Amino acid sequence: EIVLTQSPGTLSLSPGERATLSCRASQSVNSNSLAWYVQKVGQAPRLLIYDASTRATGIPDRFSGSGSGTDFTLTISGLEPEDFAVYYCQQYGGSPVTFGLGTKVEI
């Protein structure tokens, strides 16, 4: 099973600042099959990025994904108030599908 380690656990920033979130895999993720989600309290996760760097429909371009192999990054270029939430990475290149434990972005 591929274990995904997200860091930091919590990121304290202000609106307008740049956020850089890391997701490291215990082994190489096939075909860069990695997605990023954002989750707010009481809601289901919402897809931001898939295939490591492709933005999902309707996602603003301040969100970008990069990386390959075992190291992946989600960058939010300028935090908006609605971006303060928990972010998860997910790999779907190997079975079973696995998720990281999340990074909380707080004010």
Residue 67 interacts with other proteins (CB under 8 A): yes or no: no
Nearer to other proteins, 51 or 80 (CB): 51
As measured in angstroms, the least distance from the Cβ of 27 to other proteins is 16
Spell out the residues 6+ positions from residue 65 whose beta carbon is closer than 8 angstroms to its own. Answer: 34, 36, 48, 49, 52, 53, 54, 55, 72, 73, 74, 75
Residue 44 interacts with other proteins (CB under 8 A): yes or no: yes
Nearer to other proteins, 17 or 51 (CB): 51
